[in-house]
């Protein structure tokens, strides 16, 4: 009995000591914990934040899922530490929709809060949204315990993405919306990806945010001809679509190298069309598939062949892959590779045209894939929605389409007399030079660094 009483009396002191230990176990004032409740390697914007913070003298912990390999600049940086958490058990996906969501949220709540409290204290906890549940409540609680500050980067709204799966009238969607509004107001600073989202946050939720447009880091640039050849040689070893149709050593479907080491383009090469998709409901790959089928059926005999390279992972990939295999194609080939973080920008910088299928669930975010393409000087055809013209300037840097028929017409128009003339594509490339000159770290230093350095917030 006496032993139990001693334990009961000591328990509060243990908790006090634990709180003090966790509250002051810190790398220093210049420390930031980035919370990405997603695959770290597939969260480019948060990786760019981490690299810019490290360049500015901050120590950065990134917390998120493993899976894809983060970029080399993140992996090899001594001031950046990667911390992975375990995803919810797979069997939870077999439960009914609402139950699955609730149990997954509880699992992630516990995993995330334990991980964050076991890490050294950070002065700032920098949260990617979405997802909202359980990220916002967990980070708010950790900041309360550790007397830290929460900063939110609004990529989109969590409740609008959730509504795609559960329906807009679902109780969980309404709960997610309320949590976003309530906890969003607790952040010391908010940044967002478009001016439209900035206005929406202010008007409906009274949350003031700074617009920080996605801009490409230096790795996204036009690929030189020699780099293209090396990339195509590597890809040809794994993907037959990149192999030369003729048996010549040192040649690919797009480039050749003569006996003197001089690299040139193959004259009758196919168009290299690139798209990146998450293979989910908010990116309808069927649009591109239907457009290419129209192109294949309607294009003249002189129309160029197209190699359509689709990168990315996601739940609908296998379904569409079967559809592709079941169709008979005359002028279209497909390649669905998974590229390294280093090869992806090289591919974009080697391509002739990009296609973006992103449809914003909120109508307020912009596709990062287009930013990457523009950084490589690659013109884009993109799905039209409310704020897309904040990024794609129709007739100047690309074209916008509303359905597969319009996209098929645009492809035929842009690829006339490929590869010699293609006047519109060349004009688009020239117009993208100004965008290419605007880089991520310059904008980040002006708009985001003041938030973490203790200076006045940018307007």
Q: What is the CA radius of gyration of the chain?
A: 25
User: Do 287 and 182 reside in the same domain of the chain?
Assistant: no
User: Do 61 and 204 reside in the same domain of the chain?
Assistant: yes
User: Do 166 and 76 reside in the same domain of the chain?
Assistant: yes
Contact residues for 182 (Cβ-Cβ < 8 A; gap 6+): none
- Contact at 8 Å (CB) between 158 and 131? yes
Given pLDDT bands bounded at 50, 70 and 90, which one contains residue 11?
low
- Can you give the residue range of the structural domain that contains 371? 272-438
- The residue from 212, 232, 255 where one domain ends is 212
The whole-number pLDDT of residue 95 equals 66
* Residue 306 bridge partners (DSSP): 271, 332
**Is 172 within a domain?**
yes
The whole-number pLDDT of residue 1 equals 52
User: Do 111 and 202 reside in the same domain of the chain?
Assistant: yes
User: Do 184 and 282 reside in the same domain of the chain?
Assistant: no
Summary mean pLDDT of the chain: 88
Structure tokens at 86: 């375990």
CA distance 421 to 145: 63
User: Do 300 and 158 reside in the same domain of the chain?
Assistant: no
**Domain count across the chain:** 2
- pLDDT > 90? residue 344: yes
The whole-number pLDDT of residue 335 equals 93
Bond prior to 454 in cis (omega within 30° of 0): no
User: Do 198 and 293 reside in the same domain of the chain?
Assistant: no
**Is 11 within a domain?**
no
CATH of the domain at 279: 3.40.50.2000
CA distance 296 to 333: 10
Q: What is the largest CA-CA distance in the chain?
A: 94
H/E/C letters for each residue in the chain? CHHHHHHHHHHHHHHHHHHHHHHHCECCCCEEEEEEEEEHHHCHHHHHHHHHHHHCCCEEEEEEECCCCCCHHHHCCCCEEEEECCCCCHHHHHCCHHHHHHHHHHHHHHHHHHHHHHCCECCEEEEEECCCCCHHHHHHHHHHHHCCEEEEEECCCHHHHHHHHHCCCCHHHHHHHHHHHHHHCCCCEEEECCHHHHHHHHHHHCCCCEECCCCCCCCCCCCCHHHHHHHHHHHHHHCHHHECCCCCCCEECCEEECCCCCEEECCCCCEEEEEECCCCCCECHHHHHHHHHHHHHHCCCCCCCEEEEEECCCCCHHHHHHHHHHCCCCCEEEECCCCCCCHHHHHHCCCCEEEECECCCCCCCCCHHHHHHHHCCCCEEEECCCCHHHCCCECCCEEEECCHHHHHHHHHHHCCCCCCCCHHHHHHHHHCHHHHHCCHHHHHHHHCHHHHHCCCCCC
**Is 125 within a domain?**
yes
**Is 397 within a domain?**
yes
User: Do 101 and 199 reside in the same domain of the chain?
Assistant: yes
User: Do 42 and 171 reside in the same domain of the chain?
Assistant: yes
**Is 112 within a domain?**
yes
User: Do 154 and 82 reside in the same domain of the chain?
Assistant: yes
Tens of pLDDT, residues 157-201: 999 988 887 788 888 889 899 999 999 999 999 999 999 999 999
The whole-number pLDDT of residue 316 equals 78
User: Do 291 and 207 reside in the same domain of the chain?
Assistant: no
- pLDDT > 50? residue 266: yes
- The residue from 160, 194, 212 where one domain ends is 212
Tens of pLDDT, residues 374-414: 999 999 999 999 999 999 999 999 999 999 999 999 999 99
The whole-number pLDDT of residue 27 equals 52
**Is 432 within a domain?**
yes
Given pLDDT bands bounded at 50, 70 and 90, which one contains residue 455?
low
CA distance 192 to 198: 6
Model pTM score = 0.83
User: Do 289 and 151 reside in the same domain of the chain?
Assistant: no
**Is 406 within a domain?**
yes
Given pLDDT bands bounded at 50, 70 and 90, which one contains residue 291?
very high
CA distance 150 to 2: 44
- Between residues 154 and 94, the one the model is more confident about: 154
Contact residues for 76 (Cβ-Cβ < 8 A; gap 6+): none
The whole-number pLDDT of residue 5 equals 46
**Is 3 within a domain?**
no
The whole-number pLDDT of residue 422 equals 86
Please state the rounded mean pLDDT for residues 194-212: 96
């Amino acid at each position: 009995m006496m032993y139990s009483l001693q334990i009961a009396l000591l328990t509060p002191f243990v908790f006090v000591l634990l709180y003090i230990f966790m509250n002051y176990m810190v790398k220093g004032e210049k420390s930031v914990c980035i919370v990405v409740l997603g695959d770290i390697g597939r969260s480019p914007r948060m990786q760019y934040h981490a690299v810019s913070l490290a360049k500015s003298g901050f120590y950065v912990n990134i917390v998120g899922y493993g899976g894809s390999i983060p970029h080399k600049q993140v992996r090899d940086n001594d001031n950046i530490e990667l911390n992975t958490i375990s995803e919810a058990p797979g069997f939870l996906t077999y439960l009914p929709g609402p139950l699955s969501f609730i149990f997954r949220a509880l699992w992630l709540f516990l995993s995330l809060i334990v991980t964050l409290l076991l890490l050294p204290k950070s002065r700032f906890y920098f949260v990617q949204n979405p997802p909202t549940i359980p990220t916002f409540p967990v980070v708010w609680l950790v900041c309360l315990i550790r007397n830290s500050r929460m900063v939110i980067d609004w990529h989109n709204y969590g409740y609008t993405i959730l509504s795609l799966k559960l329906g807009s009238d679902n109780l969980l969607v309404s709960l997610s919306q309320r949590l976003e509004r309530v906890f969003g107001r607790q952040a010391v600073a908010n940044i967002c990806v478009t001016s439209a989202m900035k206005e929406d946050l202010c008007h409906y939720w009274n949350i003031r945010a700074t617009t920080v447009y996605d801009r490409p880091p230096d790795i996204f640039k036009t690929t030189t001809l020699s780099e293209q050849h090396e990339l195509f040689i590597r890809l040809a070893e794994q993907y037959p679509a990149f192999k030369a149709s003729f048996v010549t050593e040192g040649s690919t479907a797009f480039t050749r190298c003569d006996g003197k080491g001089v690299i040139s383009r193959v004259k009758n090469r196919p168009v290299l069309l690139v798209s990146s998709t998450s293979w989910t409901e908010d990116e309808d790959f069927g649009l591109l598939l239907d457009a290419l089928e129209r192109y294949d059926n309607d294009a003249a005999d002189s129309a160029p062949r197209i190699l359509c390279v689709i990168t990315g992972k996601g739940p609908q990939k296998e379904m569409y892959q079967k559809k592709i295999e079941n169709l008979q194609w005359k002028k279209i080939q497909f390649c669905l590779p998974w590229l390294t973080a280093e090869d992806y920008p090289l591919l974009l910088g080697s391509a002739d045209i990009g296609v973006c299928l992103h449809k914003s669930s909120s109508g307020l975010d912009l596709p990062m894939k287009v930013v990457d393409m523009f950084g490589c000087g690659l013109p884009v055809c993109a799905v039209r929605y409310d704020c897309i013209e904040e990024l794609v300037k129709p007739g100047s840097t690309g074209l916008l389409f509303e359905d597969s028929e319009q996209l098929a017409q645009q492809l035929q128009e842009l690829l006339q007399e490929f590869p010699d003339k293609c006047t519109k594509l060349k004009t688009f490339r020239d117009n993208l030079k100004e965008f290419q000159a605007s880089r991520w770290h310059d904008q980040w230093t002006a708009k985001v660094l003041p938030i973490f350095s203790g200076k006045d917030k940018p307007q």
